[in-house]
Structure 1
């Protein structure tokens, strides 16, 4: 009974604020305020407020909230532990079996030594051009005392 009275009073106050806002020629804001003010009145008229008030003061409902909280806590804890471990055993085993083997597991690393040039490959550019580029840079650095 008190909850319905409070909601009705909030709705009446909100509609009063909407009227004052409309008087100041802010019609869009007044319409928005009126919409918000009508929500508690609609909740009272549909009986949601009575149901919520009965639920809020019911020990059974609060026990249900505690049970739901415990269930959520268990879900969160087990999920966190699974992530730290990398999944369940079955998931880890499936992931290991799904990984492809190396193409040639006994192959050696590629050689980094000098190789033979094949006929179709172009020759490397002369090193003189690279040293000319660096000599220009060295000249600029010497000019600035670096």
Structure 2
């Protein structure tokens, strides 16, 4: 009964504001305010207000919301633990696949084939040059050369 009275008062106040707005020649805004102010009365007449107030004051409904909240909390806790330990479903599948691949040929490496010629004659395998200290030291310097260029460009 109280909820219906509050909704009716809100609608009456909204219609009063709409009338004042229409008096000021702002008809589009007044129509919009009138539409919003008729919504509470429509909810009362449809019985929605009585249904919501009946649900809001039942202890069994609040217990149900508590159980739903507990279920959500448990679900999110297990998800967080899975993420921290890395035991997701995809991670377990990848681990199983890696185990199967190792079981087929443990310690096997990619085949090393020499480059062949188009004539069909076998060619000698190219000899790999042993990397010297100079080549190893040059690799990190190449990585930083572009950074140095950017810094020099900006005068740093």
| TM-score category (smaller protein) | 0.5 to 0.7
State the distance in 2 between where 1:79 and 1:98 align: 23
Question: Using the alignment, how far apart are the partners of 1:42 and 1:8 within structure 2?
Answer: 10
Aligned to 1:61: 61
Q: Which residue number corresponds to residue 31 of structure 1?
A: 31
Question: CA 1:40 to 1:112, structure 2 compared with 1: closer, same or farther past 3 Å?
Answer: farther
Secondary structure at the aligned position of 1:104 is classed as: coil
Off by >3 Å, runs of 4+ in structure 1 = 96-101, 103-106, 110-114
Which string of whole-angstrom CA distances, capped at 9 and with x for unpartnered residues, describes residues 15-69 of structure 1?
Answer: 1111111111222221221121111111101111001111111111111111111
Q: 1:105 to 1:92 in 2, by over 3 A?
A: farther
The two structures have a TM-score, normalised by structure 1, of 0.62
Task: Give the aligned partner of residue 15 of structure 1.
Answer: 15
Q: Which runs of 5+ in 1 are unaligned?
A: 115-146
Specify the alignment match of 2:110 in structure 1: 104
Structure 1 81/27 Cα, relative in aligned 2: closer, same or farther at 3 Å? farther
**Any stretches of 5+ residues in structure 2 without a counterpart?**
103-108, 113-127, 133-156
Deviation at 1:93, TM superposition (A): 2.4
For residues 111 and 31 of structure 2, the distance between their equivalents in structure 1, rounded to whole angstroms, comes to 73
CA distance in 1, matches of 2:87, 2:10: 51
Q: Alignment partner of 1:25: what SS?
A: coil
The count of corresponding residues between Structure 1 and Structure 2 is: 110
2:64 is the counterpart of 1:93? no
The CA distance in 2 between the partners of 1:113 and 1:2, in whole Å, is: 89
Partner of 2:120: none
* TM-score normalized with structure 2 length: 0.59
Q: Which has the higher contact order (CA 8 A, sep 6+)?
A: 1
